[in-house]
Structure 1
C-alpha cells in the first residue's frame, strides 16, 4: 500500500483572517481517495507557513543541502495510523528522517510555551 500526493497542491485563499489554505489530493494505488485541506496560521507561524506553502508549490526549485526538488509532489506517507493520522512530507528519504526546508537544511521549530 502506498499513498501518494497527486499533482501540485494548490494554494487557495479562503478562511479565517485570510489565512492561506492549500491541499493535497491523495491517491492509493493510483486511485484518488480524497483531499486533505490545510489552513496555515501564517499570522502565528509565518516562517513555518511560508516553508510549507513553498514546499506545496515547488516554487523554490532544488535544495541546497540535498539537491532534491523542494516539493511534496510524489512524496509518500511514511506513517499511517488508521482512523487517526498520517505523517508524510519527507521528500528526500521517504521515511520521516529526511527533508529540507526552503531555508536550507532544518530550521528551529516554533515553541508556544511561555
Structure 2
C-alpha cells in the first residue's frame, strides 16, 4: 500500500527541569493550507518584517483531562498570534476528528484560525465541526500527560515553554509514515 503525503515535526518542550520531545504527523493530504501555516511557523518564517515562530513561546492554557494549548508567540496569554496568511484564516474542513493525541487549531469562532493550536489529552468529540484537526502525536504522547501533571502541581502561565521545534527530514520521518490501511483510525 502507498504512503499518504504527510509532514512530521517536533516540539521540544521544557517544563521545570525536564525537556521532552513530542513528534507530530501533520495531514497535508487533508488540510494542506492549515499544515502549511503550522509548518512555516515551526520553521520561523518572516512575514512583513516580523518573525513568526513557535520557538520560545509557551503553552498558556493547560487543562487536565482535556488539552494543552499554545501558539500565541507574540502575547503569550491566548490573545495573540497570527497566521502566515494574515491575522486569521478560514476553517479548511472538519474531516479529521478529535481523538486523544490530535493537534487542532484553537480559534475564537468560525474562520478565526491564526497560530494557536492545542493537543488533546483525551477524545474531545464535542469539538468536531468547530476546530480543524490537522495531525496527531506519533511519539511522545506520554509527555502530554507529564506536561499536564507538571502544570497542575506548578500553576502559572509561563512555565511550559517550546524551547525548540522543527521539521523532520524524510529519513527521520520514515518510521511515522502513514499507510492507506491506517486511514480509518483518523476519521
**TM-score, scaled to structure 2:** 0.45
Q: How does 1:1-114 map to 2 (within 5 A)?
A: 17-29=4-16, 31-58=17-44, 60-61=45-46, 63-64=47-48, 68-82=50-64, 84-112=66-94
- Whose helix fraction is larger, Structure 1's or Structure 2's? 2
Q: Which runs of 4+ in 1 moved over 3 A?
A: none
Deviation at 1:85, TM superposition (A): 2.2
- Whose strand fraction is larger, Structure 1's or Structure 2's? 2
Aligned length: 93
More relative contact order in 1 or in 2 (CA 8 Å, sep 6+)?
2
* Contact 1:26 1:34 (C-alpha < 8 Å) held by counterparts: yes
* Contact 1:68 1:92 (C-alpha < 8 Å) held by counterparts: no
* CA 1:49–1:80: 2 relative to 1, 3 Å: same
Over the aligned positions, Cα root-mean-square deviation in angstroms equals 1.9
- In 1, the alpha carbon distance for the partners of 2:12 and 2:66 equals 18
Return 5+ residue gaps in structure 1 as ranges. Answer: 1-15
Return 5+ residue gaps in structure 2 as ranges. Answer: 95-128, 130-187
Larger radius of gyration: 2
* CA 1:74–1:98: 2 relative to 1, 3 Å: same
